[in-house]
Each structure stands twice: as structure tokens, then as C-alpha cells.
């Protein structure tokens, strides 16, 4: 099982192409965001949400009344005045989403070519792992958009952008960390395609590392949503005014975290099983293991905080952001700076 | 009025405080915070050399950190205090919730609220179907739900249904399994042991007879080393495979072993020991952790006597396996200690499996054994190994050199078969090289329990996050000749991802199109209202786990 350098070079080409496409899509999303209408209802909903944790606020920029008020009674003035601008920015955003989808396909082919070139799963060093995380994040983001557009297919009573459109304009914020990570991956962390060293040569690499990459990618989306929640919760700045309702962001952060935590748990457990076979013990407080556990504990804290009075909202969002910080720390600092068993996964 | 004894009151309040959700949260964060120094600072248990380096670099800070246990975080009392408190808090939370859950399982679903229209999900229709038929249809549609039917004073009949009890079961399972995991982990640490040993790959044997057979041995608290599982391992050969770049591809040790049952029959089983693939004998596992070279030297003393030494020289460069070490000799036939201590020999220096010379400076070009060479210093004098102090087999005592009692008498590069002659006509010959493997033996009978509980943790977490606890109500009120008024309501107790959609589907099945009073207010529009309600639910239940 040796390397196919032709396939590997095509993989590198696809990687670069995907990065450029992500960058373009991010630019389009940025235009959409800047030119998009201010979401008055979102801001209003945010204020209500801040005031009282248990009040019924609005799920989306749809102008939906509280459930006990018949919807016919909505006064039309309540619809935001800037809805006249709707259309063009949203169309730009849609092309950005299409471009993101295309980029994700190119990205997937980069991973697949790399895998074909080396004859194994393409995530055994930091370059490959970062690439996989970014792909999962983008794919997860596209799934979120798709599901949102499915659920919000209902008669438009207002001329507001749909919930999907409101979410869609967050694209720039989701793509920003992806572009940064992929740039770092392609430059600083880049590693030539090579076969595995004996310590990594195990079928557990497929199971354990795939789970870790999937969880990390989803948690990236979750972390972005919480950062935006905190940006929006802070004040009524221009950033906040264009964000979707804080409840939408909160839900996005929560649901992605709820999905990712079992996957992360699985990654830790399979990591322990592999460690038992490779290093003679299933748990040895290696820096990587310790940080993975710390991240797990922080995310467990996040879920608990959301079920605790007085901790919902901004505090929970902060915990989620800290959790993602630990994940990044674990990926970069622990691999590069601290010597441990996972150091060979380094550059 | 009942007056509580003040001590009881303090105890009760402490208990309540400890088991409250806020305390649990704080403890979780403390645990995360307290674990971080274990990752950031070097740890004795992982790498004692790095701790020493750190201590040398930070002479002021390190003693303080050392006293506070920062170089042994996971064995420190404060770390133990945090996780013990956390688990006490967990028990205090799980026990009452299990009782409450058992009670809920026996209780019928809650009565139908008076005004279903106030619920986050609701629908209303007038139908010409008889109440009994509608309820029957609802009962059939809600198969799998827990159902209770009631009659109301005004003649209306209601049906309450609830589903998703497994959520709380998963939640409780998750937390109990965490406890089990911790306990099994602790048991494994107490009754288990780990030992490392270096064995020459020339047919040498290692037997698990006791701690002395190991180069290093880390026993659990209850291990006294007298009852180790008996087995023997014989390392016949070690074969590494490398890429042309020097990157290792595969390490394989050809070994034979005897398990506890074979010791009497002297039967040996062949085995290929590889990285990632330990030899498992009962609860004991043997791992191939590392490898290296042991150069062989023969010293011919002036009186013609010969001594041969084969000592492992550990690699200093893991990519080229350039190795460094010392082989020590005592002069033969010298009984008088004072004389012996002037004529001890030490061969110390570098070994390269594939020699690359820059001038006369030896380095290694490749990790495999293609063109071995040594660059050695020969020292003569007092090795200091009878001073009562322990001495590393890998190096000489530097103080002996600096005090002049151990003097360098020769320095030369040698290839296999080459030799050098000392001023006193002693001949040192580099015979060749033998590979060695470093093996680890681990014993942890509790690890299968750890795995079992870890699987339960995962399953419980999955259940508690995936299952949704939700309620559905039907009220049918006879409305004179016109027929029946049907009211439906739904509420998800937990953050429902999509209960609105499920509710809509049930409504559509129960009320054929055209019957439902438009507009049916559907779930996704009112999701936040559900959250609001859910939030207040959680508030009432006080300290909730999730």
C-alpha cells in the first residue's frame, strides 16, 4: 500500500479550489448580510427574551403572534418597514449557498482523492483532520439550512424574509472559521500524503478519528451560533439588528450541541478502547485525553445550564463558546506545543 | 410548630446546597478547570524527566507547584475532592429523581387542561362524528402512548396521552453509569499494575515472577507483587519495516509465550507481537512499546581473560535511532576492592544503526541496521557503583569523572569486528549489535467493567437526548344536534425538536381535512412558547439533571 502521488496532487488542487470557493461564498454572504434588511421583529423578540426567560417570544422573523391570539389579528404595521429591500440580498445569499454547496462537493472530492491516494481514511495528521472538521462543519451547516427551508415552507403572511433566509445570512460567520482553519491547514499544517506509522495503523483510526472530526465540525457550527447569540444579546448594534432572533440562534446552538455530544462521547470511548490496544492502558491522562474530557465536561455543563433557572441565555451561550475554545485548544495547542502521545498527529 | 435541631438544619441545608443544580454546575466547571494544569504542566506519572526539566527552569515556582500537587494533578487531594463532591451531588440528584420517576411510571397521564387553546400546540374542530368514535380513533392513532380517559362534569370526555418516558430513564441510566464508571476505574487503579521491561531480541526471556523482573513497576495499592499472574515471554526476533524515507511501517516481534497452564508442561506458543495488537493472557496484556539496539563489546584484559557485555543503549533520536549508552566492566579476578576501583572500565558513547560520519563525528542516517558503527570513549578507574547510591545503567557517574577518579583512556570510532587497544594493552572489540524490544505488561481486571459502564453512559446519553417527552390531549364535547366539538392540545415537556410537526400529523389523522377549524396553529410557529413553558417546568422541579 503505497502512495499515489497523482491522486494526492489532485486532492491538493481540489483543496485549494474548495478554499477559494468558500472564500467567494463568504464574500457573497457578507454582501447579503450588509445589504440585508434589519430584522425589527428579531430585535424586539430579543428584548423580550432578555426581559423574562419564560415569556413566549417569537421563534423566527415570521410575525407570529403568541399562540393564544388568533393570527388574523396581526396588525400589518408590525411588519418591518424595510421589507421592501427584500429580494436582492437574499438572492445573493442564495447564490452564496449554492456556491458553498459546490465548494463542499469539491472539498469532499479532495478528501476522497486523498483517501484514494493513501488507501485509508484521510484524517491521520493535522492537515487532514482540519480539512475533515471543516467539511463536516460546512456539510452540517448546509443540512441546517436545508431543514430550515423545509420546515418553514408555509404560506407567507408577511413580506419578511423567511426563517431560512434569516439563518442563511449567517453564512459569512460560519464560513469565516472554516476559511481560516482551511488556510492554516493548507499552509502551516500541510503534510505530504504518506502511509501510516505503526502506532496509527489500526482500524480504530477510522472509527475514533471519524467520530472526533464529526463532533468537532458540528460543534464548530454550534460555537458560531453561540458567539452570534452573544453578539446579538449584548446591544442593539448594527450587527445585532441583522441577526436572526436570539431564540433561533440559541436553538441552533443547542440542537447542534445535542447532536454532537453523543458523537463526542463515542469518540472518547473509542479513543479509550484504542488506547487500551496501543498504549497499554485505556486512560492515562495524556494531555489530549485530559483536554477531550475537559471539553466533554464543559459541554455537559452547557446542557445542564440550559436546564437550570438563571443560567439560560447568555451564560449558557458563554459556556458553549468556552467549550469550543477548549476544542480548538485541544486541536492546536496540545498537538503542537505539548508533548504527549498524540504528538505524532502533529505537523 | 416543629422546630428542627440547628445541627440537623445545617446538615439539611448543606445537603440541599450540595445537590442543587447550581452547585453541580459549579463543580463541573471546577473539574474542567482543575484538570487543565494536568494537561499544561508536565506530570510525574507521564514523564518524570520533563518535570525535572521544568523544575530546573523554574526554580522558584516549581517547589510551590510541587507542594500543591500540580505535577501530579490526578492524584492530588483537591482534584479528588472536586470529583467526589460532584459524585455526591450526583447521587443526591439521581436518587430522588429515580423515586419520582418510579412514581410517574405508575401514575396515569395528567388530566386534560381546561383550556386547550392556551397550549402551544392546539386545534379545534366541529364534527358530526359521535364522541365515542372520535375517542376510539384517537386511541388507535395514539398506540404506543400511555393513555388515560376521563369524564368531565359537563358531559365532555377527555383523553390524555403521554409518551417519551424513556428520556428520563436514559437520563438516570447515564448518571448511574457514570458512577459505575468511576468506581470501576478506581478499582482497576487499586488492584492493577503496570510494568516495563527491556528484553534482548535474541531468544532472551522475561518471566512475570515478581516486581524485580521489571525495569520499572507501578503497582496499585493492593498489589504487593507476590501473586502476579505467572507467564513467560521469549523474544526470538524483532523485525521493523521502514519506508525509504525512514518512516517506520511496521514493527513485529516474533515471540513465544507460556501461559499459567503451560508452565508445568513447558509448552511454548508462537506469537507475532505487533504495535496496536497486544498479547492477552487472561487479564494480563503484553505490549510491544519500543525497540532499540544493544551493542556488544568484548574486553580482553592484559592477562588474557575476556569479558563480554551486551547492554541496551536507548535511542536519543527517534527518527534515526541514534542511540547513546554505557557498557560497564569489572576487571576479572580482582578481589581487593581498592584495586578493583582503579581498574573498572566503562565504554560510553554513541551507536548508529546506519553510520554517517561528518569528519569523525558519528551520526545516524537511517533507523534500520544497515551499516552500524559506534563512537566510544573508554574510561578507566572508579565507576562509583559500590558507593551505595543507585546508578543508571545507561550512563556513568559524572561526579567520578569530574573528581578525576574515572579517566578517559581512549576515544575511537569502531565498526563491527574492529577493536582498539588501551595503554595498558587491554583490547576493546566492538563485536556487533543485538536488537532489543521494550515490553509493557498491564494488568487491570476491572477494565471490562469500565467498558461496560462506558457503553451504558453512551446509551443513556443517547436516549436522554434523542427521546422527547410529550403530551397529547383530546376533549370531545357533545354539541347538541350539530355533533361533536373536538379540541386537541399538545405540549412537549422537553425542548422539542419538531413536536409541532408530529402534533400536526396526529391532528391531520384525527381530523380529516376540512374539519379542522382554520387556521390550525402549528408547532413551529409556537416553538418558543413551548420552550417558555418547559423552562417553567424545569424551574418548578428545582434541581434537575437535564
B173, part of any domain? no
Query: Is there a single domain that holds both residue B24 and residue B50?
Result: yes
Kindly report whether the global pTM for this prediction surpasses the value 0.80.
Answer: yes
Closest chain A residue by Cα to residue B286: A280
Is A251 touching B (CB cutoff 8 A)? Answer: yes
Residues spanned by the domain of B344:
312-429
Q: Do B32 and A198 touch (CB under 8 A)?
A: no
B546, part of any domain? no
Q: Do A195 and B249 touch (CB under 8 A)?
A: yes
Q: Considering its fold, how many domains does chain B have in total?
A: 4
Query: Is there a single domain that holds both residue B195 and residue B246?
Result: yes
Contact assessment for residue B428 and residue B419, using Cβ atoms and an 8 Å cutoff: yes
B392, part of any domain? yes
Query: Is there a single domain that holds both residue B229 and residue B249?
Result: yes
Query: Is there a single domain that holds both residue B285 and residue B195?
Result: yes
Contact assessment for residue B116 and residue B487, using Cβ atoms and an 8 Å cutoff: yes
Contact assessment for residue A45 and residue A246, using Cβ atoms and an 8 Å cutoff: yes
Q: Whole-angstrom Cα distance, residue B498 to residue A143?
A: 15
B323, part of any domain? yes
Gap from A91 CA to chain B (nearest CA, Å): 25
Compute φ and ψ for A17, nearest 5 degrees.
-60, -45
B144, part of any domain? yes
Is B545 touching A (CB cutoff 8 A)? Answer: yes
In degrees, rounded to 5, the angle at the alpha carbon of residue B436 between the alpha carbons of residues A288 and A2 is 60
Query: Is there a single domain that holds both residue B331 and residue B391?
Result: yes
Query: Is there a single domain that holds both residue B113 and residue B21?
Result: no
Is B447 touching A (CB cutoff 8 A)? Answer: yes
Checking DSSP bridges between strand B146-151 and strand B406-414, what pairing results, if any? unpaired
* ipTM for the assembly: 0.84
B171, part of any domain? no
Q: Do A290 and B185 touch (CB under 8 A)?
A: no
Residues spanned by the domain of A101:
5-345
Among B276, B491, B521, which would you mutate to test the A interface (most chain A Cβ atoms within 10 Å of its Cβ)?
B276
Compute φ and ψ for B279, nearest 5 degrees.
-85, 125
Q: Whole-angstrom Cα distance, residue A191 to residue A347?
A: 7
Query: Is there a single domain that holds both residue B276 and residue B368?
Result: no
Is A303 touching B (CB cutoff 8 A)? Answer: yes
Q: Do B532 and A54 touch (CB under 8 A)?
A: yes
Among B19, B20, B39, B117, which would you mutate to test the A interface (most chain A Cβ atoms within 10 Å of its Cβ)?
B39
Is A304 touching B (CB cutoff 8 A)? Answer: yes
Query: Residue A290: its chain B contacts at CB < 8 A?
Result: 35-36, 38-39
Q: Which of B368, B399, B429 is the endpoint of a domain? A: B429
Q: Considering its fold, how many domains does chain A have in total?
A: 1
Chain B residues 54-93 with a CB less than 8 Å from chain A: 73-74
Q: Do B457 and A66 touch (CB under 8 A)?
A: no
**Alpha-carbon dihedral sign for residues B238, B241, B242, B244:** positive
3-state helix, strand, coil in chain B (%, to 5): 35, 35, 30
B412, part of any domain? yes
Within a 10 A sphere around the Cβ of A97, how many other Cβ atoms?
22
Is B399 touching A (CB cutoff 8 A)? Answer: no
Burial of A116 (0-12, 13-18, 19+ CB in 10 A): middle
Q: Whole-angstrom Cα distance, residue B475 to residue A278?
A: 62
Q: What is the pLDDT along chain A (347 residues), one digit of tens a residue?
A: 578 889 999 999 999 999 999 999 999 999 888 887 766 544 444 443 333 333 232 333 333 333 333 333 334 443 443 444 457 888 888 899 999 999 999 999 999 999 999 888 888 888 999 999 999 999 999 999 998 887 665 444 444 456 667 788 889 999 999 999 999 999 888 888 888 888 888 899 999 999 999 999 999 999 999 999 988 876 656 666 777 778 888 889 998 999 999 999 999 999 999 999 998 899 988 889 999 999 999 999 999 888 777 788 889 999 999 999 999 998 888 887 776 666 554 44
Is A99 touching B (CB cutoff 8 A)? Answer: no
Contact assessment for residue B368 and residue B247, using Cβ atoms and an 8 Å cutoff: no
B415, part of any domain? yes
Is A326 touching B (CB cutoff 8 A)? Answer: yes
- The string of pLDDT tens digits covering residues B95-125 is 999 999 999 899 888 889 888 888 888 888 8
Nearest CB to A198 within list B250, B525, B526: B250
Amino acid at each position: 500500500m503505497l502512495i499515489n502521488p497523482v491522486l494526492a496532487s489532485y486532492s491538493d488542487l481540489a483543496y485549494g479550489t474548495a478554499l477559494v470557493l468558500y472564500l467567494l461564498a463568504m464574500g457573497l454572504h457578507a454582501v447579503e448580510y450588509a445589504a440585508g434588511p434589519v430584522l425589527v421583529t428579531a430585535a424586539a423578540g430579543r428584548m423580550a427574551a432578555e426581559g423574562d426567560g419564560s415569556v413566549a417570544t417569537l421563534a423566527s422573523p415570521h410575525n407570529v403572534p403568541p399562540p393564544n391570539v388568533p393570527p388574523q389579528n396581526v396588525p400589518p404595521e408590525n411588519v418591518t418597514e424595510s421589507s421592501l429591500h427584500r429580494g436582492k440580498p437574499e438572492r445573493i445569499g442564495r447564490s452564496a449557498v449554492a456556491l458553498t454547496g459546490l465548494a463542499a462537493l469539491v472539498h469532499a472530492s479532495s478528501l476522497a482523492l486523498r483517501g484514494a491516494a493513501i488507501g485509508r481514511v484521510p484524517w491521520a495528521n493535522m492537515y487532514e483532520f482540519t480539512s475533515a472538521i471543516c467539511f463536516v462543519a460546512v456539510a452540517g451547516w448546509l443540512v441546517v439550512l436545508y431543514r430550515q427551508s423545509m420546515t418553514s415552507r408555509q404560506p407567507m403572511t408577511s413580506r419578511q424574509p423567511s426563517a431560512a433566509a434569516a439563518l442563511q445570512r449567517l453564512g459569512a460567520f460560519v464560513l469565516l472559521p472554516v476559511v481560516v482553519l482551511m488556510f492554516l491547514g493548507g499552509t502551516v499544517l500541510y503534510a505530504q500524503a504518506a502511509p501510516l506509522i505503526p502506532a496509527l495503523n489500526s482500524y480504530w483510526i477510522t472509527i475514533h478519528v471519524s467520530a472526533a472530526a464529526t463532533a468537532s465540525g458540528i460543534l464548530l457550527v454550534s460555537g458560531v451560533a453561540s458567539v452570534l447569540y452573544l453578539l446579538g444579546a449584548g446591544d442593539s448594534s448594527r450587527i445585532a439588528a441583522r441577526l436572526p432572533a436570539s431564540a433561533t440562534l440559541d436553538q441552533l446552538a443547542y440542537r447542534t450541541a445535542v447532536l454532537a455530544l453523543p458523537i463526542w462521547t463515542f469518540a472518547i470511548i473509542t479513543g479509550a478502547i484504542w488506547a487500551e490496544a496501543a498504549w497499554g492502558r485505556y486512560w492515562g491522562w495524556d494531555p489530549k485525553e485530559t483536554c477531550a474530557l475537559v471539553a466533554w465536561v464543559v459541554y455537559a455543563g452547557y446542557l445542564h445550564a440550559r436546564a437550570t433557572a438563571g443560567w439560560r441565555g447568555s451564560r449558557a451561550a458563554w459556556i458553549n463558546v468556552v467549550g469550543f475554545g477548549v476544542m480548538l485548544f485541544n486541536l492546536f495547542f496540545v498537538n503542537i506545543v505539548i508533548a504527549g502521545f498524540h504528538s505524532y498527529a502533529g505537523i | 410548630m416543629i422546630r428542627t435541631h440547628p445541627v440537623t438544619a445545617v446538615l439539611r441545608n448543606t445537603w440541599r446546597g450540595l445537590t442543587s443544580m447550581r452547585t453541580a454546575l459549579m463543580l463541573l466547571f471546577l473539574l474542567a478547570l482543575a484538570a487543565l494544569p494536568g494537561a499544561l504542566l508536565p506530570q510525574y506519572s507521564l514523564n518524570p524527566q520533563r518535570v525535572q526539566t521544568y523544575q530546573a527552569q523554574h526554580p522558584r515556582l516549581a517547589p510551590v507547584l510541587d507542594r500543591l500537587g500540580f505535577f501530579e494533578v490526578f492524584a492530588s487531594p483537591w482534584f479528588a475532592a472536586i470529583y467526589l463532591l460532584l459524585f455526591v451531588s450526583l447521587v443526591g440528584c439521581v436518587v430522588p429523581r429515580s423515586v419520582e420517576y418510579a412514581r410517574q411510571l405508575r401514575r396515569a397521564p395528567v388530566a386534560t387542561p381546561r383550556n386547550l387553546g392556551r397550549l402551544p400546540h392546539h386545534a379545534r374542530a366541529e364534527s358530526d362524528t359521535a364522541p365515542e368514535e372520535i375517542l376510539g380513533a384517537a386511541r388507535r392513532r395514539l398506540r404506543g402512548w400511555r393513555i388515560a380517559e376521563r369524564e368531565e362534569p359537563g358531559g365532555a370526555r377527555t383523553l390524555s396521552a403521554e409518551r417519551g418516558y424513556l428520556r428520563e430513564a436514559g437520563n438516570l441510566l447515564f448518571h448511574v453509569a457514570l458512577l459505575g464508571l468511576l468506581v470501576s476505574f478506581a478499582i482497576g487503579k487499586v488492584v492493577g499494575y503496570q510494568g516495563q521491561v527491556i528484553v534482548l531480541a535474541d531468544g532472551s526471556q522475561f518471566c512475570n515472577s515478581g516486581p524485580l523482573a521489571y525495569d520499572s513497576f507501578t503497582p496499585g495499592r493492593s498489589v504487593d507483587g507476590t501473586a502476579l499472574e505467572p507467564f513467560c515471554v521469549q523474544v526470538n526476533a524483532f523485525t521493523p519495516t521502514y519506508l525509504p524515507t525512514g518512516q517506520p511501517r511496521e514493527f513485529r516481534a516474533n515471540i513465544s509465550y507460556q501461559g499459567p497452564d503451560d508452565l508445568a508442561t513447558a509448552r511454548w506458543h508462537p506469537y507475532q507481537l505487533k504495535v496496536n495488537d497486544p498479547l492477552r493472557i487472561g487479564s494480563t496484556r503484553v505490549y510491544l512499546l519500543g525497540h532499540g539496539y544493544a551493542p556488544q563489546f568484548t574486553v580482553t584484559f592484559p592477562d588474557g581473560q575476556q569479558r563480554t557485555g551486551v547492554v541496551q543503549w536507548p535511542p536519543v533520536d527517534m527518527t534515526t535511532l541514534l542511540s547513546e549508552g554505557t557498557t560497564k566492566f569489572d576487571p576479572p579476578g580482582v578481589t581487593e576492592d581498592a584495586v578493583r576501583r582503579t581498574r573498572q572500565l566503562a565504554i560510553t558513547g554513541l551507536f548508529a544503526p546506519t553510520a554517517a560520519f561528518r569528519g569523525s563525528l558519528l551520526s545516524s542516517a537511517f533507523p534500520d541496521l544497515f551499516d552500524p558503527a559506534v563512537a566510544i570513549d573508554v574510561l578507566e578507574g572508579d565507576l562509583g557503583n559500590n558507593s551505595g547510591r543507585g546508578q543508571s545503567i545507561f550512563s556513568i557517574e559524572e561526579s567520578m569523572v569530574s573528581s578525576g577518579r574515572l579517566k578517559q583512556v581512549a576515544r575511537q570510532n569502531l565498526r563491527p569486528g574492529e577493536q582498539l587497544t588501551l595503554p595498558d594493552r587491554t583490547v576493546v572489540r566492538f563485536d556487533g549489535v543485538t536488537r532489543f524490544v521494550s515490553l509493557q505488561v498491564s494488568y487491570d481486571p476491572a477494565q471490562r467493567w469500565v467498558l461496560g459502564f462506558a457503553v451504558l453512559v453512551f446509551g443513556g446519553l443517547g436516549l436522554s437526548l434523542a427521546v422527547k417527552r410529550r403530551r397529547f390531549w383530546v376533549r370531545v364535547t357533545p354539541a347538541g344536534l350539530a355533533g361533536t366539538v373536538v379540541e386537541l392540545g399538545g405540549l412537549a415537556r422537553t425542548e422539542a425538536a419538531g413536536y409541532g410537526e408530529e402534533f400536526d400529523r396526529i391532528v391531520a389523522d384525527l381530523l380529516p381535512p376540512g374539519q379542522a377549524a382554520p387556521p390550525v396553529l402549528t408547532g413551529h410557529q409556537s416553538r418558543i412558547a413551548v420552550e417558555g413553558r418547559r423552562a417553567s417546568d424545569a424551574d418548578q422541579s428545582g434541581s434537575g439533571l437535564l
